Amino acid sequence: MKAVCWMGKSKVETLTVADPQLLNPHDAIIKITRTAICGSDLHLYDGFIPTMESGDILGHEFMGVIEEVGKEVTNLRRGDRVVVPFTIACGSCLFCKKKIWAACDNSNPNAHLMEAAYGYSGSGLFGYSHMMGGYAGGQAQYARVPFANVGPLKINSDLPDEKVLFLSDIFPTGYMAAENAQIQPGDTVAVWGCGPVGQFAIASAFMLGAARVIAIDRLPERLEMARSLGAITVDYSEEDVSVLTALKDLTGGIGPDACIDAVGLEAHSAQLQGTYDKIKVALLMETDRPSVLRQAIQAVRKGGTLSVPGVYGGLLDKVPFGAAFGKGITMKMGQTNMHNYMKPLLERIEKGQIDPSYIISHRITLEQAPEMYKVWRDKKENVTKIVIDPWAETAA
Amino acid sequence: MSSALTEKPYAEELPTTGAAGMILNGRYLPPPEDKDGKIWVRTSALVQASPEDLYTIWRNVEQAPAWQEQITRVVKTGERTSHWVMETDGKTIEWDSEVLADEPGKRIAWRSTGGDSDNAGEVVFEEASGGRGTMVTVLQEFRMGKLASAWETFVGRNPKQAVIENLRHFKALAEAGEIPRTQGQPHGDRGLIGKTKASTYGEKIPNAIRLELICDRSHPVPGT
């Protein structure tokens, strides 16, 4: 089959590799019909996530048709249409029982690597480093899905792939971010980053009762999209704009009730601290660039909530923890507990409450993926979301 | 070449300070120190199953190749004795083992009695609080120098890590009915550096698990 492989920092190639096979009794093989490139794939592309190896198949947002199931998979059969969650969960351990699926004990074959870095291991993820399981990803024509009895969401309706594909990660991730923001009726919520996760966080914040959402970014097409959802936008790159002042101005001086960092470890900053972080990362003195996190901690109101769906990987410098303590804020974060959200969010799509496909800007073939990683990283061509048809020969 | 597993059998008593020597009179005790040519490892896991069921799976030694890395065959030779075959670093080693203590649903202790490996260990099953399953604690020792241990780390699996990983496999098998794996999945060219990292990633651990021995969850122990 053809697959998009990570071949080193800033180096992605579409290669012909072996087809996946059933390896365990709860596995399924799916023929992928649509797959996408995630913002978090850029952290791999840019070399921020350790334990990637040359040859790793990328991709964790995919859906398709069941080709073959292992002998213990009784809920799916060949021909079923499914969306696959990016976190892999066994469904049986203490954490799965508590519905903290992203903390599954039994799905990471390389748990010891993550234990060394984080104390304990989270669940395995598709196509997201060996530390996080080393599973081959879904930017390919086929994929092996472990614990297929637990994860994949069956799509029984004839909704097109593009409307349900983002149930694999970014829609539930944006929704959990809004849920983690503990929104009360009338709240003002500030969202940093108007990429796909930020978009779904904005839409979900409104669904959960936010009165006002303030969206922060610098790319005109993304800010436009946020306004189309009803958010007030702040362009942090504009001269004379201070995000902290803007958020005070828009909240009667008290600050947003909740802040959502939908940017994560590769934040850009118009301020001097952006340069500071780039230098420190280059000198291996920190691993992540936390300028959004710093600002969100600073901005959130007293007793407010900070929700972090943006990915962080390692060690952060100069995080204003005193401000977090001083204001008594709550911080909620982590990989998405996908399995809690896929079904209810599918119902919202089926009822026509949201059509997640509105964020798609590019439809491409597997062969185009390497060049599109570069476009995605550099935010060229007004890119907002790239979807791959792994069977297409020519671009749509 | 690692020859630590070929020394004479070890015959001292194991520590008797309660559950795998972890708590004595309310005080936490660290695992024994590596010295005098012996290395120790202690590890624990919280497993969603009853102590009785877990005891049964563990005690069924012929099933061990389903969850113990590099163990290729175990044959029961008596009520309390068994013969073990392991493939490590491209060679086969064999030893005999006997059960020293057998408390159904609670504890098993064993030691090797002859052959190429000199090891002893115990496993303790304790019901966790609040319906949280069973705390399984393993304490194991090998007669093996630090240098030999380091060599094993380099060429394959560090023996201490193997005990930790085996308990992880045991837990996964008991809870989820399978052990997560990536050996045999597709990938692009690993390149020169990727090919040399034999010990780092599960994808390359040789002969990790005998897949055909993994049975379905409703019947974890064939023949019992």
Query: Is B165–A112 a contact, with Cβ atoms under 8 angstroms apart?
Result: yes
CA dihedral A345, A350, A354, A358 (to 10 degrees): 110
Query: Is A105–B179 a contact, with Cβ atoms under 8 angstroms apart?
Result: no
Give the global pTM.
0.90
How far apart CA A199 and CA A215 sit, in angstroms, is 9
Residue A275: its pLDDT value, please? 81
Instruction: Tell me how far apart the terminal alpha carbons of chain B are, to the nearest angstrom.
Output: 40
Give yes or no for B90 touching A (CB within 8 A): no
SS3 A94: helix
Residue A287: its pLDDT value, please? 77
Contact A316, A261 (CB under 8 A): no
Does residue B155 carry a pLDDT above 70? no
Contact A130, A53 (CB under 8 A): yes
Residue B203: its pLDDT value, please? 61
Q: Which residue has the higher pLDDT, B198 or A24?
A: A24
Of B182, B186, B197, the CB nearest to A18: B186
What token pair was written down for A241? Answer: 């704009």
The interface residues of chain B toward chain A in range 7-46, judged by CB-CB distance below 8 A, are 46
Query: Is A5–B187 a contact, with Cβ atoms under 8 angstroms apart?
Result: yes
Query: Is A54–B193 a contact, with Cβ atoms under 8 angstroms apart?
Result: yes
Query: Is A57–B188 a contact, with Cβ atoms under 8 angstroms apart?
Result: yes
Least confident of A308-317, B151-160, B166-175: B151-160
Give yes or no for A124 touching B (CB within 8 A): yes
DSSP for A172-196 reads: HHHHHHHHHTT--TT-EEEEE--SH
Residue B197: its pLDDT value, please? 64
Tell how far CA A46 is from the center of its chain. Answer: 16
Kindly report the average pLDDT of chain B as a whole number.
Answer: 80
Q: Which residues pair with A331 in a beta bridge?
A: A306
Q: pLDDT tens across A36-69, in order?
A: 999 999 999 999 888 899 999 999 999 999 999 9
Scanning every residue of chain B, which has its alpha carbon at the shortest distance from the alpha carbon of A29? B185
Query: Is A93–B203 a contact, with Cβ atoms under 8 angstroms apart?
Result: no
Of A19, A93, A109, the CB nearest to B186: A19
Candidates A180, A245, A183; CA nearest to A210 is A183
Query: Is B172–A56 a contact, with Cβ atoms under 8 angstroms apart?
Result: no
How far apart CA A165 and CA A90 sit, in angstroms, is 22
Beta strand ranges found along chain A (DSSP E) = 2-6, 12-16, 28-37, 56-57, 61-69, 81-84, 87-88, 124-125, 142-145, 153-154, 188-192, 212-217, 232-235, 258-261, 305-308, 330-333, 362-364, 386-388
What token pair was written down for B110? Answer: 């064993």
Residue B193: its pLDDT value, please? 74
Candidates A254, A212, A253, A252; CA nearest to A234 is A212
Contact A148, A69 (CB under 8 A): yes
Q: Give B207's pLDDT tier (boundaries 50, 70, 90).
A: very low
What token pair was written down for A30? Answer: 């799916």
Contact B136, B105 (CB under 8 A): no
Give yes or no for B180 touching A (CB within 8 A): yes
Contact A136, B187 (CB under 8 A): yes
Q: Which of B160, B163, B185 to mutate to test the interface with A (most CBs of A within 10 A)?
A: B185
Does residue B213 carry a pLDDT above 50? no
Interface predicted TM-score (ipTM): 0.91
Angle at alpha carbon of residue B29, lines to B10 and B174, rounded to 5°: 75
Give yes or no for A75 touching B (CB within 8 A): no
What token pair was written down for A164? Answer: 């349900």
Query: Is A17–B201 a contact, with Cβ atoms under 8 angstroms apart?
Result: no
What token pair was written down for A370? Answer: 């390497």
Candidates A68, A61, A74, A4; CA nearest to A33 is A61
Scanning every residue of chain A, which has its alpha carbon at the shortest distance from the alpha carbon of B197? A53
Does residue A4 carry a pLDDT above 50? yes
Q: pLDDT tens across A352-392, in order?
A: 999 999 999 999 999 999 999 999 999 999 999 999 999 99
Report chain A residues whose CB lies below 8 A from the CB of B168.
111
Q: What percentage of chain B exceeds 70 in pLDDT?
A: 75
Give yes or no for A97 touching B (CB within 8 A): yes
Residue A393: its pLDDT value, please? 87
Give yes or no for A11 touching B (CB within 8 A): no
Report chain B residues whose CB lies below 8 A from the CB of A107.
180
